[in-house]
Amino acid sequence: MQLYNKLSAEERAQIIDKNSQERITLSFYKYFNLGNPLMFRDHIFIKWSKMDVLGRIYVAKEGINAQLSVPKESFDRFKQSITEIVPLKKIRLNIALDHYSKSFLKLTIKIREKIVADGLDDLSFDVTKIGEHLDAQKFNQMLNHGNTVCIDMRNHYESEIGYFKGAIKPDVDTFRESLNRIDEELKKNGKEKNYLMYCTGGIRCEKASAYLKHKGIKNVFQLEGGIIEYTRQVKEKELENNFLGKNFVFDKRMGERISDEIVSNCHQCGNPCDSHVNCDNESCHLLFIQCNECKEKMNSCCSEECKETIKLPYDKQKSLRRGKRNSHKIFKKGRSTKLKFKIN
């Protein structure tokens, strides 16, 4: 029984290039009661591996959260396999705006405590009691309502390159920190406001809206399908687009262009730019925004120190990495003194 990837990422990339394989990038999530996450993980790994599905999936007793890349020729078969899983039968697939064949190069399915870490221990918290879903047209109407507080439920490095007009963009590193900011907004604005939330594909808003309901807020709304579905509907129905910039995505594309505005800057020179990269020094791997000029000047690194490190023999670089662990804290806004032009 195969429960591992037979090909390395490099081998997979070579095959995709050689066959000029067209792939569809998509995401989906579903909160439901899953009795045996381990058995479920094994089942979908075996089933989807046979279809050459790649990507990252989190499975927990509360449901599933998936970002995937599926061969175009296998897409219908994949959709059929989804309908055969009863809780996922009517699930909406968020299809990416731009498709990159190498957005994922392995299939990874991890069992987690929760599909979205929230830091909540309150047993009375019910994730199924959520706010009202709004389509793109109704979201625009609510966004422009005078009594609305719109909150971006994403992390700072996501909202830095794109956001909805007038939205509050918490300077946070994790979703659980966002919930703390919700509490602050409640104290500031009171319970009578319309609380409108959005995120990339909807999963974080699902839990955040339930959290607000748990707090006793009546007027809770969320963007159905997130920014991805909003953009599709705006184009399809020719609606006003209230999103500025790029939508950050968690694959090798790093972002999807939603509007022509560039709302961020290169962290090294300060010029307008909204292209995220990871530092080429593997012992650093810092996520930051870098323009093409700085990329060439700095050899795709975040600092002179890292620029010198990647010149060393590979074995020496490997020895320098030994014992070090990259932390999610590398995403923290303003944390790195290496970046001269990282602004709020």
CATH number of the domain encompassing residue 104: 3.30.70.100
Specify the pLDDT at position 179.
87
Whether the CB-CB separation of 208 and 126 falls below 8 Å is answered with: no
Residues 6+ away with beta carbon under 8 Å from 331: 155, 156, 157, 173, 287
The per-residue pLDDT string of the chain (344 residues; one tens digit each, 9 = 90 and over) reads 557 687 788 888 888 888 888 999 999 999 888 999 999 999 999 999 999 999 999 999 989 999 999 999 999 999 999 999 999 998 999 998 777 788 899 999 999 998 987 777 656 667 778 999 999 999 999 999 999 999 999 999 999 999 999 999 998 888 888 888 888 988 999 999 999 999 999 889 988 999 899 889 999 999 999 999 999 999 999 999 999 999 998 888 889 999 999 999 999 999 999 999 999 998 888 899 999 999 999 999 999 999 999 998 888 877 776 666 554 444 444 467 778 777 54
Are 268 and 200 in the same domain? Answer: no
Specify the pLDDT at position 15.
82
Structure tokens at 23: 């792939």
Residue at 325 is within a domain = yes
Residue at 40 is within a domain = yes
How far apart CA 274 and CA 234 sit, in angstroms, is 22
Q: What is the pTM of this model?
A: 0.81
Query: Which among 237, 256, 290 is the end of a domain?
Result: 237
Whether the CB-CB separation of 285 and 330 falls below 8 Å is answered with: yes
Are 15 and 51 in the same domain? Answer: yes
Residue at 251 is within a domain = no
Structural domains in the chain (count): 3
Are 66 and 99 in the same domain? Answer: yes
Query: Which among 76, 111, 146 is the end of a domain?
Result: 111
Residue at 208 is within a domain = yes
Which range of residues forms the domain containing residue 144? 132-237
**The residue type at 175:** F
Residue at 214 is within a domain = yes
Q: What is the CATH number of the domain that holds 150?
A: 3.40.250.10
Are 231 and 136 in the same domain? Answer: yes
Are 168 and 220 in the same domain? Answer: yes
Catalytic residue annotation: 199
Supply the Cα-derived Rg of the chain in whole angstroms. 21
How far apart CA 127 and CA 32 sit, in angstroms, is 9
Closest CA to 17 of 28, 26, 9, 29: 9
Query: Which among 111, 144, 162 is the end of a domain?
Result: 111
Are 148 and 101 in the same domain? Answer: no
Residue at 247 is within a domain = no
Specify the pLDDT at position 326.
53
Residue at 103 is within a domain = yes
Cβ density class 33-65: b for 16+ within 10 Å, e for less: ebeebeebbeebbeebbebbbbbbbbbbbbbbb
Residue at 248 is within a domain = no
Specify the pLDDT at position 248.
94
Closest CA to 168 of 149, 155, 186: 149
